[in-house]
């Protein structure tokens, strides 16, 4: 941030470069465990609670908190969880005009198991997220038009992701895809509409068939570049992140050393922070460095949306 620029001026500036998220909303059932149970094993939990989550909502809330505003297109059921998720979005300054209610479906849920090292395994029950259609996106075309940059993930139907990406590109927007969770078969047609893709190691391996272990992520990123994506950002957990970009070349961003409590939403915050910083005029590697600082704070706190820091907290780091 330029020294002469106040936080208020920064938020006003970023609000003029709107970011739209099309994605999922889940109520997370977070379960604290000594370790993730193996098949056939029964274990006791150290604590449990519900909290707002979902990759789409987490990313929208993170943009809202960091950049001062964001919009979301997504779907919830006509139930208490849906209302609670909407409220949470609004508390993070997310415009919810694009939130659709699906009366025949329950709001999405996720069972988030967190082990004592802070790492997680997640099971998502899509519910209303699975009913978000291309028609729902078309009905909110205005939100796409108003935005400068679109972020999507893969917890909504692939045909809706494809529709959203195609529409955004036809309107000249920048498209960021967080390919989580990575599908068995990634639609080839989608590659041409993506400006930036941000897989973690597991997703990169699933998408490319190349193991990300060791320095395998370098080859994996190259594979995605060869598919026509100009910018590939791979997050590598505690190791940091790697970028391979048409305009900025290749580089590595180390993670900040911290005491980890819970890594839930580290990847979501990373994607959101990259988008927020790019909207502020930063280069990809500057945006990734900023995102690494944001995520390093996220992993020191419990939960998904509850762990997102403000712009001021990141600058103070």
Interface with ligand RIB (CB under 6 A): 24, 26, 28, 53-55, 58, 110, 112, 122, 124, 155, 264-265, 267-268, 304
The closest residue (CB) to ligand RIB is 53
- Positive/negative CA dihedral, 128, 131, 135, 138: positive
When the beta carbons of 222 and 306 are compared against ligand RIB, the nearer one is 306
52 sits in which H/E element = strand 47-53
Which among 95, 136, 262, 268 is annotated as catalytic?
268
Question: Which stretch in 77-85, 139-147, 222-230, 251-259 sits in contact with ligand ATP by CB under 6 A?
Answer: 251-259
Neighbours of 144 (CB within 10 A): 21
CB of 309 to ligand RIB, least distance (A): 16
Question: Which stretch in 136-144, 151-159, 213-221, 293-301 sits in contact with ligand ATP by CB under 6 A?
Answer: 293-301
**273 binds ligand ATP per the rule CB under 6 A:** no
Task: List the one residue out of 6, 8, 16, 4 whose CA is nearest residue 280.
Answer: 16
For the chain, the residue count is 317
Burial of 266 (0-12, 13-18, 19+ CB in 10 A): buried
Q: Which does 237 bind (CB under 5 to 8 A by kind): ligand ATP, ligand RIB, none?
A: ligand ATP
CA-to-CA dists, residue 203 to 13, 233, 236, 299, angstroms: 34, 12, 11, 19
Residues 265 and 304 sit within 8 Å (Cβ to Cβ): yes
Q: Which does 299 bind (CB under 5 to 8 A by kind): ligand RIB, ligand ATP, none?
A: ligand ATP
Q: Lay out the site mask for ligand ATP across 153-172 (x = CB under 6 A, - = otherwise).
A: --------------------
Strand partners for 32: 47, 114
CA distance 49 to 74: 24
When the beta carbons of 161 and 288 are compared against ligand ATP, the nearer one is 288
Given candidates 134, 157, 216, 237, which one binds ligand ATP under the rule CB under 6 A? 237
User: Which residues, at least 6 apart from 215, have a Cβ–Cβ distance to it below 8 Å?
Assistant: none
CB of 109 to ligand ATP, least distance (A): 17
CB of 206 to ligand ATP, least distance (A): 12
Largest CA distance in the chain: 60
Question: Which stretch in 44-52, 83-91, 169-177, 237-245 sits in contact with ligand ATP by CB under 6 A?
Answer: 237-245
Q: What angle do CA 145, 149, 152 make, to 5 degrees?
A: 105
Whether 268 is a known active-site residue: answer: yes
Given candidates 160, 295, 305, 307, which one binds ligand ATP under the rule CB under 6 A? 295
Neighbours of 234 (CB within 10 A): 24
Task: List the one residue out of 216, 302, 231 whose CA is nearest residue 263.
Answer: 302
User: Contact residues for ligand ATP (CB under 6 A)?
Assistant: 120, 200, 235-238, 240-241, 255-256, 258, 260, 263-268, 270, 292, 295-296, 299
Q: Which active-site residues does the annotation give? A: 268
């Amino acid at each position: 941030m330029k020294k002469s620029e106040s936080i208020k001026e920064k938020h006003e500036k970023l609000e003029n470069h709107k970011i739209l998220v099309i994605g999922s909303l889940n109520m997370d059932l977070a379960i604290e465990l000594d370790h993730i149970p193996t098949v056939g094993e029964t274990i006791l939990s150290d604590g449990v609670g519900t909290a707002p989550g979902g990759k789409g909502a987490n990313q929208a809330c993170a943009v809202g908190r960091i950049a001062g505003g964001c919009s979301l297109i997504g779907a919830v059921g006509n139930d208490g969880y849906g209302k609670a998720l909407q409220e949470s979005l609004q508390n993070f300054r997310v415009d919810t005009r694009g939130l659709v209610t699906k009366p025949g479906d329950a709001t999405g849920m996720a069972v988030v198991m967190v082990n004592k090292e802070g790492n997680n395994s997640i099971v998502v029950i899509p519910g209303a997220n699975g009913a978000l259609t291309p028609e729902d996106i078309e009905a909110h075309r205005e939100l796409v038009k108003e935005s400068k940059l679109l972020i999507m993930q893969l917890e909504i139907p692939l045909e809706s992701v494809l529709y959203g990406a195609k529409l955004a590109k036809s309107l000249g927007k920048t498209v960021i895809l967080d390919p989580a969770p990575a599908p068995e078969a990634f639609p080839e047609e989608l590659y041409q509409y993506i400006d930036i893709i941000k897989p973690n190691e597991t997703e990169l391996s699933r998408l490319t068939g190349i193991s990300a272990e060791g320095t395998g992520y370098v080859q994996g990123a190259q594979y995605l570049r060869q598919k026509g994506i100009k910018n590939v950002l791979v997050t590598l957990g505690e190791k940091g992140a790697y970028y391979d970009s048409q305009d900025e070349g290749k580089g590595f961003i180390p993670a900040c050393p911290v005491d980890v409590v819970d890594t839930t939403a580290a990847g979501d915050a990373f994607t959101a922070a990259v988008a927020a910083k790019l909207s502020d005029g930063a280069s990809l590697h500057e945006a990734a460095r900023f995102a690494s600082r944001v995520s390093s704070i996220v992993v020191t706190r419990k939960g998904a949306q509850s762990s997102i820091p403000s712009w001021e907290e990141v600058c103070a780091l």
